[in-house]
Structure formats: C-alpha cells, structure tokens
A and B are shown apart, each in its own frame.
Chain A
Amino acid sequence: MPAGERHLRLLLEAAVDPHRAPADPEAELAVAGDALAAVGLVDPALARQLLAELRLALALRRDPPPWPLPAGRAPAAAARPVGGAPEGPRAVALGPLAVPTAGGTLGVLAVSVGADGATLHAALDPDGGTVEAAGGRRPAALARGPQTRRARAGAPAGTRAPAAPAPPGTTRQVTPGRDTPGGALRALELTGDGGPPAWVGPVGRAGTAAGGWRLACPVDGLEPATAGVTVRLGGRPVGRLAAVAARPALAGREHRRRPAAVWVAGALDRVASGAGPGPVGAGVRALVAAGALDPGDPLAHQAALLDDLGPGGDTSALDARWRSAVERRQAPAEVTGAWAVGAFVDLGAERVRFDAVHAGPGGLWLLGACGPAPVSVAAYDDRLNGYVLAGPLAPVAGAAAWRLVPELDPAASSLRIELTGSTREASVEVRLR
C-alpha cells in the first residue's frame, strides 16, 4: 500500500510543478490510480481523494478554475450488476424479429429458456424518444395490425437498429408492461412448441446506448424444453424463433496472470479501441514504480508505443492485437447480427450466463445474466481484435446485458468472451459463421 500511495503522491507533486507537470496531469494521476487500485496497491478511495485534491490544487493555481469538479475521470469502479445469480444454462431462441409499432421499433433479440425461468431480451427504438419510462408513464402502445420482418439468413444476420435517440450510458426505469393496459410488451405473447402461451413479465430497467433501448424481462410460463418459440403480437403471429440447445456448464479456472499484467492489457485494449482515457503509460510507470510490474515486460513496451501514437500514426510497431483495434478506429465498419451462445460459467463466487451476442453499430451486446458480484468481461475475435466493456449494464432481476466496443470486425469468424472473477477466469467461444 505505501508504495502505491507514495507513487501517486509524487505524481501529484510533479503535476503541481509547472516545470515537471505532464501534458495532462489529471489523466496521468487517474490512470496511475486506476492501475494501482486494480492490483491492490492503493485503496481506490484514496486514489479518488488524491485526484480530487489535485484538481483542487490546480484550481487554486489558475483562475477561472474548473469548478465544480468535472466527473468521469475518477478511477473506474468495477461494474456491479444487480439481480440474482443465474442457476444454470439455458436454451436460446434466437431473433431478431423487428416489429414496427406506433411508438417505435420493437426488436425481439432472443428468448432464453431454462429450468430457472425464461427471459426475453428486447431492443426498443423509440423513433424520436417516445418510449415511455419512469414515474408511472407507460410503454408505447403498439399499432394495430403489426408488420413483421424476418431476420436475414446467414451471418451476420439480423436487423440493423436505427441511430440511437437517447444519450449513451443512461439507465432508466421502465414501467412494467404486463400490468399496463396498452403497453407494448404486454401485447407480446410467446408460445413454446406444444406448450401454453406465455407472456412477458414486468420490465425492470432499460439501458440506452448506441442502438436504442435494451430491455430484459422475465417470461412467465414458457416451457423449459421448448425447441422453438412462436411470437405473437396482439394475437397475430409475427415470427418463430428456432431454439439452440444449451451448452454444458463451464467451470472457471484459477487466475494465471499477474494482476498488473491484467490491468495493463485491459488498459491497452481500452486505449486502442478508443473506449478509455489515455495515457496508459502513466499506469505502467506507477506499476513499475510500485514493484508490481517488470519494466522489461513486453506490455510496458506496447504501452509506450501506444502512448506515442498520434492520429493516423504508423501502427506497424504495435502488436497485432492492438494494431488491429487502432486501425479499426481509424476506419470503422458496421456489422449487424445475432448469435446464440447458451453458455453458463461458474467462477466460484460469481456465476454468469450468456444467452446471445448481438452486434450492431454501437458495438457488441452480450445478453445474459449474472449475480451481484463484479465480473470483468472482455472479448477477442480470431483476428486478434479486442472488445472491451463500455457499458451501460442494463440489468433486471435475473438478467443483464454488457455492451462491448468497438463494432464487430466484419471479417471475424469467431469470438472469445473472457470472464475474470475475483479468483477464477474462463472463456467462452462463439462461432460467428
């Protein structure tokens, strides 16, 4: 602990000295604090406190200072979803089905069915922000005589959601659909093969990001052994989703990597994909100074290269994993599609279920469920592209969604989802084609 605090305080002193201050002292301290907190060398609360003190010290030395203190540069807290932990793997009936309604487009992305219940993953495009939310307001009513559109066959399959109407990173409470007359989701009826009709239960929370609103809600009464799910809207069939069998449950393995190396690799991913603040070199220097990272580690070399890389710079010296991400930032490509996963991972203290992957212009959405313990989620494809958690997490009781950025590489043919819990880690392979 003292080594980490010592480094952060010395960094703060340098930041206040105009002859020694780095170009962006706040970012330096934030990244270093994030790195040291990630490996347990400094208390995250102390790192945040020192960052606040640096901002105040700099504010006292310039007028007008940035006040109130800007948010968003504090060391990132681990994502902590809510809801109960999943109990086992589920079969997945894969969409998407796009249903135009009076209030916007409703996308049925996937339905997962297991012994512990069923969940509908859906997307809502409000078409101008008419999705009803919060404070007793109601979901948008559906138009009479719904129109449906099947997803394209093959991969990448599916529909492409229109541009996001809501600001990214927000989460709002959506009124429960089932008990709401005229609610969009109330009219949705799901029927398993040979089983009785089932209806969508209460909607908990909806996350908004590029690609519209994301919802996950329980489905009451859907048979666990169903081979397919027929979707009806207002009594009219709008499509059938073929179910994919669940995979066997997967047990995680013990961590093999040093925490510092895990942090640097994650930070490199975030910087390369444009999802996180730079410079990552500040974190590497902090870890080296605190004795948590070998200065000769190749990751440290990559961090230095990435820090020095300007817009349009030469990426040839970068490792392929980060070179690809930088190049994709420079020339992004849009891909849409959906794939069933049906995986259940037991990490000991944490259990995670992935039902489906949905790709769109806003990135990748991993649809599933997890418990309250924080789990780190990232993904890599077979072209060595990295995808990192960007949020928002859109959890409801028994369901969650993770958004990863950047957009899926069109040439990728498989995706490996990596999960890191407190003591164990695991990876899940998804064939894209």
Chain B
Amino acid sequence: MTARWERLAAPVEGTVACGPNRHRLRWQAGTLRALDHAGDEAIAARLGEDEPECLALCRRWARYRHDPRVLVLGPRHPGDAVGLGPGLLERLRQDPAGDDDRAALLSLLALEPALQRRLQQQAAAGLAAPAGGSVLPALEAATVGRLRPVLDRWAGRRDWEVTVGEAGTDPARPAAVRVGPEWLAEVWGNYLAVVAGHLVLQVLDADRGRTRVLAVAAPGKPPRPLHVRGPAPWRAVLDPADEP
C-alpha cells in the first residue's frame, strides 16, 4: 500500500554527471531510477565492472533513504543552499578521518533540490512511523527547523513555539503551533505548508485527487479543514463540489 505522502508527492526528475554525459534520474513512488541505463548494467556492476554514477546514486539512495543525517545536513527551505563546492570536495578527499559512508551520503546532497526534498521526505516518513507513541528527537528537531522558516514567511518573524504532537493551535498563545509527526513528509516535503494564506498543520485525506488539510488562517486562529488541489503550487478549492 502506498503511503499517503507518496500519493501526494509528484514524480521528480533530475540530471547528474555520469561519465562524460549527463543522465536522468527519476524519483517516483519512493524509488529512484536511472533512466539512461539498462538493467543489465546494474548486474554487470555487481559482478565487478565499473559502476556508472547514476547506478551508484540509486544504490546509495536505497541505503540512506531512512538515515536521520539526511535531515540534519539537508536544506531546510529553498533559500537554504547546500553546496558541495570544489574546496569542500577536495578537503573531503584529503581528510584522513573521512570515510566512504560520509562521502556517499554527501553525494546525495549534491543532487538537484527537488530530489533532495524527496530524500528528506523518505527519511522523515521512516522516522514518523509509530514508535511507541513518542516522537523521535531527530524528527521533532527536523520538523521544528523546517516549520519555523515557514512561520516566519507566513506571519512574520517572532519567537515561535513549535511542538510536535496532535496538530492544533492555542488561542491564548498565538505563537504556539503544533503539528503532527507526519508534517515534514506530507506537508513540508510537498510544498504544501502555506496554501492561499493558510498554514497547513496536517493532511486529513488524500484520495482520488481530492486533498483535505487542516489549516489556520492566522496565528492563534482555530484550525479548520480546507480542500486543496495540487500538485505544487497548491491552490485552495472553495467549493469542493466543483471538483471532478
């Protein structure tokens, strides 16, 4: 069964340098695929032949898609540029304490931003899976770190009190915002955080092209359901009856 965040997430393509060429990578339904390599190349690589960069990236994706470090190192918002500059790469190669693990992880952070966001969604979704009713600190911190810039843009910079739990707001404390543990994978990852001036706290339904979210119009206001239509850029649907 496809997870809800995967149903909301549109397929994404990017290109990477692979030998002398630029090849395409495609993410869809939780899997990264190399579009310009035949399947037998992967088999040949497993048998010892040189592995093309595209296939190596797909293999690393499968390995790191649930690694919390993806959320620590990856960009928090579109303006948060993460770059593997030539200086950094050179120092990484020369670092005696460096290891293949870190280099492999960083190679994924050099992918195009849309692919990086899907990687973060996968990592967050893995952490949001029920863990005895508690929210893992890694997911909570990653959610806070991504929601605060959203709140700044939505209603201006202030000392936001962000917590992860049952989605909601507190009329007595307008700066207090609570979102669910799935917020990062379902809302933030799909560019759904703010729609038509509303802050989206939670996805309620995502079936047959209809998406219903819990959203607030302004700080301290009570949340209410809102129908939206996507993919990004999402727009609010004022009369759901008009939707196909």
Q: Do A and B bind each other?
A: yes
Q: Interface on A for B, CB 8 Å cutoff?
A: 2, 5-6, 9-10, 12-14, 16-17, 19-20, 50, 53-54, 56-57, 59-61, 63-65, 67-69
Inter-chain CA distance A2–B92, complex, in Å, is 32
Please determine whether A56 and B73 come into contact, CB atoms closer than 8 angstroms: yes
| Interchain CB contact (< 8 A) of B141 among A6, A19, A65 | A6
User: A14 — nearest CB in chain B belongs to which residue?
Assistant: B145
B95 within 8 Å of A (CB atoms): yes
Complex interface bits, B84-122 against A, C-beta within 8 A gives 1, otherwise 0? 110110011011111000100010010000000000000
B134 within 8 Å of A (CB atoms): yes
Inter-chain CA distance A68–B83, complex, in Å, is 17
| Interchain CB contact (< 8 A) of B140 among A9, A53, A63 | A9
Inter-chain CA distance A13–B74, complex, in Å, is 11
Please determine whether A63 and B88 come into contact, CB atoms closer than 8 angstroms: yes
User: For residue B106, which residues in chain A have a CB less than 8 angstroms away from its CB?
Assistant: 60
| Interchain CB contact (< 8 A) of B80 among A5, A14, A61, A69 | A61
User: For residue B76, which residues in chain A have a CB less than 8 angstroms away from its CB?
Assistant: 13, 16-17
Inter-chain CA distance A50–B144, complex, in Å, is 17
User: A63 — nearest CB in chain B belongs to which residue?
Assistant: B85
A-B contact number at CB 8 A: 80
Minimum CB–CB distance from A6 to chain B (whole Å) comes to 4
Query: Which residues of B, 51-97, contact A by the 8 Å Cβ criterion?
Result: 69, 72-73, 76, 80-85, 87-88, 91-92, 94-97
User: For residue B148, which residues in chain A have a CB less than 8 angstroms away from its CB?
Assistant: 17, 20
| Interchain CB contact (< 8 A) of B73 among A2, A19, A53 | A53
Among B87, B96, B152, residue most surrounded by chain A Cβ atoms (within 10 Å): B87
| Interchain CB contact (< 8 A) of B88 among A9, A13, A20, A64 | A64
Known: A68-B95, A68-B97. A60 touches B87 (CB 8 A): no
Please determine whether B73 and A5 come into contact, CB atoms closer than 8 angstroms: no
Inter-chain CA distance A5–B135, complex, in Å, is 12
Inter-chain CA distance A303–B106, complex, in Å, is 38
Given contacts A12-B141, A17-B76, A60-B82, 15 further A-B contacts (CB under 8 A): A5-B137, A9-B138, A13-B76, A13-B141, A19-B152, A50-B72, A54-B72, A56-B102, A60-B106, A63-B88, A64-B87, A64-B88, A65-B87, A67-B92, A68-B95
Known: A17-B76, A19-B152, A60-B82. A10 touches B87 (CB 8 A): no
Please determine whether B141 and A10 come into contact, CB atoms closer than 8 angstroms: yes
Minimum CB–CB distance from B38 to chain A (whole Å) comes to 34
Minimum CB–CB distance from B160 to chain A (whole Å) comes to 10
B175 within 8 Å of A (CB atoms): no
Minimum CB–CB distance from B150 to chain A (whole Å) comes to 12
B157 within 8 Å of A (CB atoms): yes
User: For residue A13, which residues in chain B have a CB less than 8 angstroms away from its CB?
Assistant: 76, 141-142, 144-145
User: For residue A53, which residues in chain B have a CB less than 8 angstroms away from its CB?
Assistant: 69, 72-73
B240 within 8 Å of A (CB atoms): no
Inter-chain CA distance A53–B149, complex, in Å, is 21
Inter-chain CA distance A57–B87, complex, in Å, is 15
User: For residue A50, which residues in chain B have a CB less than 8 angstroms away from its CB?
Assistant: 72
Inter-chain CA distance A65–B142, complex, in Å, is 23
User: For residue A2, which residues in chain B have a CB less than 8 angstroms away from its CB?
Assistant: 134, 137
Query: Which residues of B, 7-46, contact A by the 8 Å Cβ criterion?
Result: none
Inter-chain CA distance A395–B112, complex, in Å, is 54
Please determine whether A6 and B140 come into contact, CB atoms closer than 8 angstroms: yes
User: For residue B84, which residues in chain A have a CB less than 8 angstroms away from its CB?
Assistant: 60
Known: A2-B134, A65-B91. A60 touches B83 (CB 8 A): yes
Minimum CB–CB distance from A321 to chain B (whole Å) comes to 34
User: B148 — nearest CB in chain A belongs to which residue?
Assistant: A17
Minimum CB–CB distance from A7 to chain B (whole Å) comes to 9
Minimum CB–CB distance from A24 to chain B (whole Å) comes to 19
**Can you give 6 contacting A-B residue pairs, CB < 8 Å?**
A2-B134, A2-B137, A9-B138, A14-B145, A53-B69, A54-B72
Inter-chain CA distance A14–B82, complex, in Å, is 16
User: For residue A16, which residues in chain B have a CB less than 8 angstroms away from its CB?
Assistant: 76, 80, 145
User: For residue A9, which residues in chain B have a CB less than 8 angstroms away from its CB?
Assistant: 72, 137-138, 140-142
Please determine whether A68 and B87 come into contact, CB atoms closer than 8 angstroms: no
User: For residue B97, which residues in chain A have a CB less than 8 angstroms away from its CB?
Assistant: 68-69
Minimum CB–CB distance from A46 to chain B (whole Å) comes to 10
Please determine whether A57 and B145 come into contact, CB atoms closer than 8 angstroms: no
Minimum CB–CB distance from A47 to chain B (whole Å) comes to 13
Minimum CB–CB distance from A2 to chain B (whole Å) comes to 6
User: B92 — nearest CB in chain A belongs to which residue?
Assistant: A67
Minimum CB–CB distance from A345 to chain B (whole Å) comes to 39
Please determine whether A12 and B72 come into contact, CB atoms closer than 8 angstroms: yes
Among all A-B residue pairs, the 9 with the closest Cβ atoms? A67-B91, A13-B145, A9-B141, A63-B85, A6-B137, A64-B87, A68-B95, A5-B137, A60-B82
Inter-chain CA distance A69–B215, complex, in Å, is 43
Please determine whether A67 and B95 come into contact, CB atoms closer than 8 angstroms: yes
Minimum CB–CB distance from A17 to chain B (whole Å) comes to 7
User: For residue A68, which residues in chain B have a CB less than 8 angstroms away from its CB?
Assistant: 91, 94-98
Query: Which residues of B, 127-164, contact A by the 8 Å Cβ criterion?
Result: 134, 137-138, 140-142, 144-145, 148-149, 152, 157
Inter-chain CA distance A54–B142, complex, in Å, is 13
Inter-chain CA distance A14–B137, complex, in Å, is 14
| Interchain CB contact (< 8 A) of A61 among B81, B102, B134, B137 | B81
Inter-chain CA distance A64–B88, complex, in Å, is 6
Please determine whether A10 and B88 come into contact, CB atoms closer than 8 angstroms: no
Minimum CB–CB distance from B159 to chain A (whole Å) comes to 10
Among A10, A60, A61, A64, residue most surrounded by chain B Cβ atoms (within 10 Å): A60
Inter-chain CA distance A206–B148, complex, in Å, is 53
Minimum CB–CB distance from A316 to chain B (whole Å) comes to 32
Minimum CB–CB distance from A303 to chain B (whole Å) comes to 22
| Interchain CB contact (< 8 A) of B87 among A12, A14, A20, A63 | A63
Inter-chain CA distance A97–B88, complex, in Å, is 54
User: For residue B83, which residues in chain A have a CB less than 8 angstroms away from its CB?
Assistant: 60-61, 63
User: For residue B85, which residues in chain A have a CB less than 8 angstroms away from its CB?
Assistant: 63-65
Inter-chain CA distance A13–B140, complex, in Å, is 10
| Interchain CB contact (< 8 A) of B157 among A19, A56, A64 | A19
Inter-chain CA distance A16–B102, complex, in Å, is 19
Inter-chain CA distance A57–B141, complex, in Å, is 14
